[in-house]
Every structure is written in structure tokens, then in C-alpha cells.
Amino acid sequence: MQKQGENPSRLVFVVYPFQGHINPMLQLATAFHTKGYSITIIHPEFNSPNPSNHPPFTFVSIPDRLLQSNVSLAPGDFLTRIFVLNKNCAAPLKQCLERMLDDDDGKHSVEHVAGVIYDCFMYFVQFVADDLGLPGFSMRPVAAAWLLVSVIPHTEQESVFESQIPELQPLELTSMAKNPTDAATEMRAAMLNATERSSGVILNTMEFLEYAALSTIREYWPAPLFATGPFHKLAPSSASSLLQEDARCISWLDHQAPRSIIYVSFGSIAGLSKQDVVEMAWGLAESKQPFLWVIRHGSVLGTTELLLPDGFRERVGDRGLIVEWAPQQEVLAHDAVGGFWTHCGWNSTLESVSQGVPMLCRPCFGDQFLNMRYICYVWKIGLRLENVLDRGNVEDGIRTLMVNIQGEEMRHRAMEFKAKTELCLREGGSSSSSLDEFTKLISSV
């Protein structure tokens, strides 16, 4: 393990440039910096993180030509973005690493670079690392269960997912594995190929949280797995938001009763229709529960304006606060927050679990549906809302979570999950030990 002030080795982190991926990567980098490593963050030009938030790190931008490629930034077009970034960033990354590996005399030297850690969506990095003789490590900022679909042979998937392991049955993994598009098949194959060549996989999860999935992966997977999450708890002071956080919501929460507020946020990408906003607004109003609602600029499809229904603000008065973006970790840690209406992104899920906050779930796309099944049917710390929003269902869901006995039971289980998370992070806990094991591996490669 590196020690502060002892000519530390350098770890290079390669970022996938979207908020839900930037956050965990920079949090993980911060954790390794506390272990004594020097950190270099290599990132595409698009959505560049702010270096001033991480003064000890070295930030290097590489051209991605994403906007020049006329790639849609809509959530449904994420595969195209991945392919374009992997194509356009390969040569610039290799040139960047080669410069790092050349000493003052121009001689090739790799001693000072301990390894390259890359977001799994930036799978091209593994092949660049191989070419340069550097160990590469895949970081997966999603649930470990997603890896099961890739590593288990198709001929065995149905029996594994549906009968052999009861804990996996509610996740409906078989439906995830069936009938993928050609693009999805290509991406899965590329990611799997890179991961198979990697020196290890770092997972933003905890052993107790996904024990069945992690145990099953290890049966089929030879590479070391490091469940070191939740990353945000490894680096609680790490700031990496691309959006301006509205801190006034914290002072507003300070004046609310304990566990009385439902916090509503659908992350940095998911969009809402105008009708969604109307139904959500009246459902919140009719629930009679105080709320903090995040509606970021541009999140309402088809408009840049926030169009709340007439009479809504007068109806709720001071009972509700609407902001464009919130310091979510601080919000979920606040005593006034008793529930979280979420899109079930993995970062949000882990942040809620680690604070013991039960969830009202409305997934929008991708892995969010898997996360929702974990929350509602495996861990039983949340309640699912139907995809088509109706103000009556919204009202019922909020009151069930915040007022009814069913919600109290979920809150009790959620607090047990919080306690287990804290044990994972203590010295000797599973996440802390996994992080130590990774640093030993880095030293030995």
C-alpha cells in the first residue's frame, strides 16, 4: 500500500462523460488518493469535470468529436454515444498515455504508472493499456447483477436466473438477456471482451447487498472482483456535479419536521413529459405531504420552461420547494427526509440505501428497471409506481410510503441496510477490505 509522501505510484482514471458515471469515478479516484496514489483523470472534452473541485488531481482532456458527429444526447441513443466515444478517443488516449510514460530522456518507462482504471463503457481503454503494457481495470458503476447477463453462457441463463438461485428470480434477468438489438449485442460483446482481458473489475456495490449475484459471477468469472462500494461513502467530500446545486434547500429542510419530507428527483438524464409534470404536481398536492422536488432545466420534454398547472403553487404554499438541482447526498442524509421518489439510477439507489431512506420507484430506462426490482422485491425497501403517471396513484404511493404502516416497515428495513452499509465501510468490513485487496494487487502487477 502506498504511503503519503513516499513518491507514490500514479493511477490513471478514464471517464465516461455523463454525470452518473463521472461521479463514481471521481469518488473512487478520491478514495485511492487517500491511499497515497497520485491521480490523473483523463476525460473527453464533452462534459468536462471541474478541476478546481479536485485540486490534488491532474486533469487531461482528450478530443472526442462527439458534438461534431451529430450524436443525439437523448437517453434512448446512449449506444450510439458509446460507439462514437470508443472510436474517437482511442488514438488521443494512446498518445496521452505514451507522453506520460516517456521520461525526460525520452526513454520508455512504466514504473510510475501503476494502472489504468476505466469506466466499463469506455472499453477501448483496455486495448490501449494492453498495447502499452499497463494493467487495466474495468470500473462498473451499475449493479453487479448486470454482469451476470454477460458472463453466464446463454444455455445456462434460464436455469441460473429462474430456478437455482431464489434471490435472483425477482430481478427477471432472463428478460434482460432475451432479444437484444444488434447494437446492444455488439456493445455487450465489446465490453465483455475488454473485461476478460482486464486485470480485475471494480464494482460500486456491497457484498451484503448483492451477495447472490456476486457469488454467482465468481463461479463463472476468473478475474478478481472488488466490491468496494458505495463509492460516495469512500469520498464523502468529493464534489463532481456538472450542474449548479441549490444549497438553499438545505436551510429549508432545517425547518421541517423529522422524516416528513418526500424528496423527488429523477437524476441528470431522464426526461418528463408535460403531462407527467401535471400528474406529479397534483399527486404531490393531494397527498398533503411536504416535498422537495428537483426539476432540472430542460428535463421537461419539448420545452425549456417549467410549466406547473394553474393553482398548484397556491395549493401547496410553503409545504413544497422546487429547485433545479440539489446536493443529493446532503439531502438524503438530512433528518427531515423520510422518503425518496426516484428514477432508480444506481448512484441514487446506493445513496438512499446508505442513508436508510425508503424509496418510491419510477424507473425510466436501462438498468433502472433492474434496480427497481432489487429495491421493491428483493430488499423490500421501496414501492413501485406504474410507468404511466396518474395523480391518484401518485397520491396513494406517497401516502403509503410516508404515512402508512407499510411505509414504516420499509423505513425500518432501510435503516437496517444503513447499519449494514456502515459495517462494510469500517476497517475489516467487506468494502474496506476489498479496497485494500485491490491496492495489494496493484502493487503486485
The mean pLDDT value for 183-208 works out to 94
Q: pLDDT tens digits, residue range 51-101?
A: 998 999 999 999 999 888 777 766 667 889 999 999 999 999 999 999 999
The DSSP symbol for 266 reads -
On whether residue 419 sits in a domain, the answer given is no
Determine, yes or no, domain membership for 299.
Answer: yes
DSSP code, position 296: -
Q: Are residues 21 and 97 in the same domain?
A: yes
Question: For the residues 142-158, what does the mean pLDDT come to?
Answer: 90
**Domain match, 20 and 159 both:** yes
Q: Are 432 and 298 found together in one domain?
A: no
CA 50 to chain centre: 19
Q: What is the Cα–Cα distance from 267 to 247, expressed in whole angstroms?
A: 17
SS3 category, 200: strand
**Domain range for residue 68?**
10-239+426-444
From 73, 236, 216, 53, select the one nearest 147 (Cα to Cα).
Answer: 216
Number of neighbouring beta carbons within 10 Å of residue 151 = 17
Output the domain CATH number for residue 130.
3.40.50.2000
pTM listed for this prediction: 0.93
Query: Is residue 234 assigned to a domain?
Result: yes
Instruction: Please determine, for residue 180, whether its predicted confidence score (pLDDT) is greater than 70.
Output: yes
Q: Are 339 and 407 in contact (CB under 8 A)?
A: yes
pLDDT, tens only, 199-212: 999 999 999 999 99
277 plus 361 within the same structural domain: yes
Q: pLDDT (tens digit, 9 = 90+) per residue, 259-277?
A: 999 999 988 677 788 888 8
Same structural domain for residues 211 and 271?
Answer: no
Residue 408 domain-assigned (yes or no): no
State the total domains in the chain. Answer: 2
- Looking at the structure, do residues 220 and 321 belong to the same domain, yes or no? no
In a domain, 95, yes or no: yes
Separation CA 361–CA 39 (nearest Å):
36
Q: Are residues 290 and 311 in the same domain?
A: yes
